[in-house]
Amino acid sequence: MGRLFGTDGVRGIANADLTAELALGLSVAAAHVLAEAGGFEGHRPVAVVGRDPRASGEFLEAAVVAGLASAGVDVLRVGVLPTPAVAYLTGALGADLGVMLSASHNAMPDNGVKFLARGGHKLDDELEERIEAVYAEHRTGAPWNRPTGAGVGRVRDYQEGFDQYVAHLIGVLPNRLDGLKIVLDEANGAASWVSPEAFSRAGAEIITIGAQPDGLNINDGCGSTHLELLKAAVVEHGADFGIAHDGDADRCLAVDGAGQEVDGDQIMAILAVSLREHGGLRENTVVGTVMSNLGFKLAMEREGIDFVATSVGDRYVLEAMKEHGYALGGEQSGHVIVLDHATTGDGTLTGLLLAARVSETGRTLADLATVMRRLPQVLINVPDVDKSRVDSAAELAAAVVEAEAELGSTGRVLLRPSGTEPLVRVMVEAADIDHARTVAGRLADVVKSVLG
């Protein structure tokens, strides 16, 4: 059996890679591992279980709930809610663990199981590895120690979770959104009811698209991975701006009143300035990744805000934030973490805070986004090469030094081996797109020649 847990839970094609049996077994294993770790001592354990609207989530939810209850865990089934809502409720209700069934921005056939520890935080690597080991051990025949009688877990629907989460979102806002007209693209996903409700209660006039999930249409030509519909709707309705989420609503991208994209880096730049003005930008620092646009870093320098770059992946951003007590971090994809109010990226919260900034300042989103100039970025994937030699090939290192000297302070080069494929990603930023393409193409040729 290969490694099951990836950077964000266990994912795969539902009913092929991710079966009901696997979901059930992992849930039983998680309950036993967390109990052994001392998390359930002195009380009857409780789990919060939620899902996005994928059709496969229905049977996978049943499997997870069955597994947890069979291990003696009481289950609060919150239904279709965003990943950050499940994380919030896990913490707010004092639950011992949370489980979210979603494959986020992936296509509908995929699904995933994500376990959350007490407080709504992602499980650390050691616990995930232990869950895998215990699952593998019992999968080969070792019997479970199963409770009977009154010891089995009880299951109930927890419909109050919807209003609790919306109230939490509204409570975070520094000001209301009255007078704003906003288009919301919910990706036919987990935020299809929560996000419109929150924006409406906050005072905004809303138009919703991609908010009629049928179990099969999640992320299908809509949401944060397909902004075309949102751009058209914002212009058609004369809206102030638009907000787009992904399937489990842990991401947020935006579109200004003219239909131009405002990406995660620009959103973070806007929020960083806002948090600093309100005294909430701890250590005067924002966290991004090595793939954050150079324009973001330059903008933070101009604003006198420190920038910390981590490896690619929201888990690394979150680790840096928790270790050093930073308040804001995220990625270009729109996965933005506001740690004072969420334990993970929360697309609805991000959108609300962005809207609050527009309302507070009276400036358009397009005007606010000018805090940073997004430099042209060219990414070339070079396949079928020995990615293990990226950092050791002298000829390649020399080519990078030469390219960096040519680009100067307004450009950047990044060579990064793929984590899952035999390829190297060549990323070049420059003040001019043609210059970026030229340098990227030249470096890609060197990568192919040296590592091919």
Instruction: State residue 247's pLDDT score.
Output: 96
Q: Which of 225, 223, 221, 261 is nearest to 241 (CA)?
A: 261
Q: How many CB atoms lie within 10 A of CB 1?
A: 8
Q: Output the six-digit token pair for 336.
A: 């933005």
Mean pLDDT in runs of 10 for the chain (452 residues)? 74 95 96 85 92 98 98 98 98 96 94 95 90 89 87 97 98 97 98 98 98 97 96 98 97 97 97 96 95 92 96 88 96 94 96 98 98 92 87 88 88 82 87 92 92 83
pTM: 0.91
Q: What is the pLDDT of residue 139?
A: 84
Three-state secondary structure call for residue 437:
helix
Q: Tokens in use for 272?
A: 């960083």
Other beta carbons less than 10 A from residue 439's beta carbon: 23
Q: Which domain holds residue 223?
A: 163-369
CA distance to 86, 161, 297, 326, 335, per residue, from 92 (Å): 10, 10, 35, 22, 22
Catalytic residues: 104
CA–CA dist 270, 303 (Å, integer): 11
Last residue of a domain, one of 118, 133, 158: 158
Pairing of strands 328-330, 241-244: unpaired
- Compute CA distances 386 → 352, 391, 418, 450, whole Å: 44, 11, 11, 9
Q: Look-up: residue for tokens 């990603």? A: 425
- The secondary structure of the chain in percent helix, strand, coil, rounded to multiples of 5, reads 40, 20, 35
Rounded-to-integer distance, Cα 400 and Cα 167, Å: 51
Distance (Å, rounded) from C-alpha 371 to C-alpha 68? 48
Instruction: Using DSSP bridges, classify how beta strands 377-383 and 336-338 pair: parallel, antiparallel or unpaired.
Output: unpaired
Q: Are residues 342 and 427 in the same domain?
A: no
The neighbouring-strand residues paired with 382 are 424
Helix (H, G, I), strand (E, B) or coil at 340: coil
Residue 324 and residue 206 share a domain: yes
Q: Is residue 298 domain-shared with residue 244, that is, in the same domain?
A: yes
Assess contact for 377 and 429: CB atoms under 8 A: yes
Counting DSSP H helices and E strands in the chain, the numbers are 14, 19
Q: Residue ranges of the alpha helices (H) in 289-346?
A: 294-303, 314-324
The CATH number assigned to the domain holding 425 equals 3.30.310.50
Q: How many CB atoms lie within 10 A of CB 62?
A: 14
Which of 303, 338, 369 is the last residue in one of the domains? 369
**pLDDT recorded at residue 392:** 85
The answer to whether residues 242 and 301 belong to one domain is: yes
Angstrom distance (rounded) from CA 42 to CA 49: 22
Binding residue numbers for Mg(2+): 104, 246, 248, 250
Q: Give how far Cα 324 sits from Cα of 7, 123, 267, Å.
A: 21, 19, 22
Quote the number of domains for the chain.
3
Q: What is the pLDDT of residue 216?
A: 98
- Residues of each annotated binding site: 104, 246, 248, 250
Q: Report helix, strand or coil for 215.
A: coil
Same structural domain for residues 203 and 131?
no
Q: How far apart are CA 33 and CA 37, in angstroms?
A: 6
Whether 5 is covered by a domain: the verdict is no
| In contact, 52 and 101? CB cutoff 8 Å | yes
In a domain, 1, yes or no: no
Do 210 and 344 sit in the same domain of this protein?
A: yes
188 conformational bin, left if phi > 0, alpha if psi -120 to 50, beta if neither:
left
Say whether both 40 and 62 belong to one domain. yes
Pair 125, 266 in one domain: no
By C-alpha distance, which of 14, 16, 44, 21 is closest to 31? 44
Residues 363 and 388 in one domain: no
What's the pLDDT tens digit per position in 86-139?
Answer: 999 999 999 999 999 999 999 999 999 999 999 999 888 899 999 999 999 888
Residues 55 and 127 in one domain: yes
The DSSP output letter for 105 is T
The span from the CA of 71 to the CA of 143, in Å, is 12
Nearest partner of 50 among 391, 344, 435, 354, judged by Cα: 344
Based on the fold, state whether residues 389 and 354 are members of the same structural domain: no
Q: Where are the beta strands (DSSP E) in 26-151?
A: 46-51, 74-80, 97-101, 110-117, 121-122
| One domain for residues 195 and 302 | yes
Domain-embedded: residue 2: no
Kindly report the CATH number assigned to the domain that includes residue 184: 3.40.120.10
User: What's the pLDDT score for residue 2?
Assistant: 57
**Neighbour-count burial for 409-432, b at 16+ CB within 10 Å, e otherwise:** eebbbbbbbeeeeebbbbbbbbbe
What pLDDT shows up at residue 388? 85
Alpha helix (H) residue ranges in 112-247? 125-139, 160-172, 194-201, 228-237
Please tell me the distance from the alpha carbon of residue 390 to that of residue 269, in angstroms, as a whole number. Answer: 32
CA 40 to chain centre: 28
